[in-house]
Structure 1
């Protein structure tokens, strides 16, 4: 069985680039309609497949990481598509639930960083930056600050670039049967 790690990383990376482009303000909020299909197709389904393949190989940590973040992408799409608009339509404010949602993901991702300390620098950086993204996004949500939210988007873009590089390095190195692109 091949290594599903590059599949999970490229799925995460592409999904994150698309989301980060809207979060950072590079594209306006109407771009969110492009984020949701990518979140479902790549973020949810493809990361889920990568995670399940890791579990089948007996690799608990990457299996957990990819399946739990598949859950993030699926739940995020549902939150944005259904929950928030329904709350707003009913005259409510989805801020508190969204802020807690992001904070919970930040805390969970932070404890994954502790587990990642037994892996490699690239995994530590990806998860560390991602924890920071969630915590900054939560803070921006609670504060009602677009600027803080944009900062979270730029940190997510950096995270995505690291993940995409790692995926590319794994595929290139495997194909060339030697280290062409180092993975720290």
Structure 2
């Protein structure tokens, strides 16, 4: 009897896995930044006021994505942490790019267009890679990532090729993937408040 009590006392306590959904922070902060970016790309503000969205993108979207990534990692949701971490990098680096070019932090001189092209190419390749590696997620996520790829490609062409039409089209595609983000947020919020999540579609790969 004494031995059994001693053995029980020395056993490590059972740890329960914490619960939570980082999407409840990550998705809405992504939405607000995407709306701001879409408004810039579609000409809501003058062309020389590209920094108008930074007050939202840097402290809200960039920080929100980072918080969501850390939260997901703490829950052991590695794929989710990767997605939010990648987008934290995108939004924060976008803010730094705009601020840097506006205030001539980088000393690129007349290479501003090439610098923007470099940024867009690097991120387009990375997000396309993310799209391909997350095809086992529900189809709604694949649609989201594909639309982001298209928006980046259009903005890249518009920037490097000097096509305002392509840039504007990229802005409207930004609103399209924002709408998908809204759908995902409604689904996550419904589940978090005791309801059923919305149908997200079958994964492209099983």
One fold, TM greater than 0.5?
yes
Asked if 1:176 corresponds to 2:194, the answer is yes
For structure 1, the residue ranges without an aligned partner over 5 or more in a row are none
Aligned-residue offset at 1:28: 2.9
Q: CA deviation at 1:174?
A: 2.5
Please list, as runs of the form range in 1=range in 2, the aligned pairs for 1:1-184 lying within 5 A after superposition.
Answer: 1-29=19-47, 32-86=50-104, 91-179=109-197, 181-184=198-201
Indicate the structure (1 or 2) with the bigger Cα radius of gyration: 2
Q: Mind listing any 5+ residue stretches in structure 2 that lack a counterpart?
A: 1-18, 202-206
1:166 Cα deviation after fit: 0.6
> Residues of 2 paired with 1:51 and 1:128: CA distance?
21
CA distance in 2 between partners of 1:72 and 1:50 (Å): 14
User: For 1:140, what is the secondary structure of its paired residue?
Assistant: helix
Relative contact order (C-alpha < 8 Å, sep 6+): which is higher?
1
- Indicate the larger mover: 25-34 or 3-12: 25-34
Which secondary structure does the structure 2 equivalent of 1:8 belong to? helix
Q: Normalized against structure 1, the TM-score is what?
A: 0.90
Q: CA RMSD of the aligned region, Å?
A: 2.1
Mapped partners of 2:67, 2:147: distance in 1:
23
8 Å CA contact retained: 1:40, 1:77: yes
For residue 87 of structure 1, report the CA deviation from its aligned partner. Answer: 7.5
By how many angstroms is 1:63 displaced? Answer: 0.7
After superposition, the Cα gap between the structure-2 partners of 1:106 and 1:89, relative to the gap in structure 1 and judged at 3 Å, is: closer
Deviation at 1:84, TM superposition (A): 4.6
Residues 39, 171 of structure 2: 8 Å contact kept: yes
1:90 and 1:101, CA in 2 relative to 1: closer, same or farther beyond 3 A?
A: closer
Query: Greater helix percent: which structure?
Result: 1
How many residues are aligned here? 183
CA contact (8 A) 2:100 2:106 kept: no
Q: CA deviation at 1:144?
A: 1.2
